[in-house]
Amino acid sequence: MDNRESEIRVGFVNPRYNSLLVALAYFAGGSLLYALDLGVLVEDRPPQPLWVWLVLLACVCAPMTMRRTRPLLALLLGTVPVLVDLVVGPSLPVWIAYGDLLYTATLFGSARTSRFLERAPLVPIVVGAVALGVYFGELRIAVWAVSIAALVIVVPIWWARSVRTHRDAAEIERARAEALSRVAELDRRAAITTERQRLARDLHDVVAGHLSSIAIQSEAALRLRDSDPDRALTVLESVRSGSVAALQEMQSMVRLLRSDDTDEITTAGRLVDLEPLTASARAAGTSVRIDGRPPADLDAEVDLTAYRIVQETLTNAVKHAPGRPVTLRFDDADGRLGIEVVNPIGDPDTPDPSPARGAGHGLRNIAERAAAVGGHARSGRDGNEWRTYVQLPIANRSTT
């Protein structure tokens, strides 16, 4: 922070204008003391004309116009007439004005200057007081010199140091409060972004997954309505079941959005309840074979994540490779749940079907869901098969 900013913060709109008023006030007050014959501190010196004191006082007051913009330079310029005043005969107005220069240099100067001014006067004051006491042979002279020096030099410096310390502490607290405010705002934005991504994944699973299944099954029912009416009826029953499930999940999401419970899971779904997913795929003409059995005591978040991933992979298989068998494998080892979904997609020389027939949201959702619970997922073509492999942590299992 520069001096001008400091000036504005303590309420001075124009530092140069206010410094000029302060300089004029010091000069007017000092002139009054000289006029009343109260300005000279030592009477045994040869008397000086009034104009000499006024010139010295003016030379100390003139640098005050820079007391806040260039405090160190003002102090150095004011030191010269003070030394002359010390030789001619110390006068109270000059030293009072010089105390103001010491105050502003300590308060508004650099940190190094402020620390130097806090310590520098101590030794010269003590040495000078002892020298005066020895020279005049009176302890009273030494005490008087130390008292005057403490009044016009040490007190302004220490006062400025105290004000500076409190000001710096206030600035640190203000900066800390601003930093905490920025961190809170970033956390809020991150939380909103995370929640939006979670809702987007759930909406994709509920809407895209179920609607894709309904569209494929409806197409199959239309093809079978004349050749195999019984099977067409079975497909339509699966369509209805899928529609009801989608509606229930949408209602569950709406309840979550209206609820104040932040720990509530968005929609229901567990790996032990895979039958509706596999039945829907079979109704669309895709056979599903399950190898292994998923654990039944998974943590609720991991369980839902695994369920959604299986739902998305089956939807992709039905959508991009209709009528081709899907193999779903589970393995539970080393504190990890492995899920592998494999389905044929055709000739290995043909391009991948997923980029051409979809936007890739499903694969991205699978990877994001796995990463959100500390796992990982990879999907891609392996010869003439599409393979999705997911690993999820199961070390923290539900105790309910």
Question: One digit per residue, pLDDT tens: the chain, 400 residues?
Answer: 444 444 444 444 456 668 888 888 888 888 888 888 787 766 655 667 888 888 888 898 888 888 888 888 888 888 888 888 877 777 888 888 888 888 888 888 888 888 888 777 777 777 776 776 676 666 676 677 677 777 778 788 888 888 888 888 888 999 999 998 888 888 878 877 776 777 777 666 666 666 777 777 777 777 777 777 777 777 777 777 777 777 777 776 676 666 665 454 445 567 877 887 787 777 777 888 888 888 777 887 788 888 888 888 888 888 788 778 999 999 887 778 899 999 887 654 544 444 445 556 778 878 888 888 888 998 888 888 899 999 998 865 544 4
Residue 13's pLDDT is: 46
Identify the CATH assignment for 184-260 out of 1.10.150.120, 1.10.287.130, 2.40.10.10, 1.20.5.1930. 1.20.5.1930
Closest of 389, 369, 393, 367 to residue 380, by C-alpha: 389
Buried b / exposed e over 242-256, threshold 16 CB at 10 Å, is beebbeebbebbeeb
Q: How many residues does the chain have?
A: 400
Domain 274-346+360-393 has CATH 3.30.565.10: yes
Under a CB-based contact definition with an 8 Å cutoff, are residues 242 and 213 in contact?
Answer: yes
Residue 12's pLDDT is: 42
CA atoms within 13 A on the CB side of 235: 22
Rounded Cα distance, 245 and 239, in Å? 10
pTM: 0.46
Q: Which residue in the block uniquely carries the two structure tokens 């310590």?
A: 119
Q: Which residue in the block uniquely carries the two structure tokens 């043909």?
A: 350
Residue 341's pLDDT is: 92
At 91 the three-state DSSP class reads strand
Residue 192's pLDDT is: 73
Buried b / exposed e over 58-95, threshold 16 CB at 10 Å, is bbbbebbbbbbbbbbebbebbeebbeebeebbbbbbbb
Q: Where are the domains of the chain?
A: 15-178, 184-260, 274-346+360-393
Residue 309's pLDDT is: 87
Rounded Cα distance, 75 and 92, in Å? 17
Q: How many other β-carbons are positioned within 10 Å of the β-carbon of residue 388?
A: 24
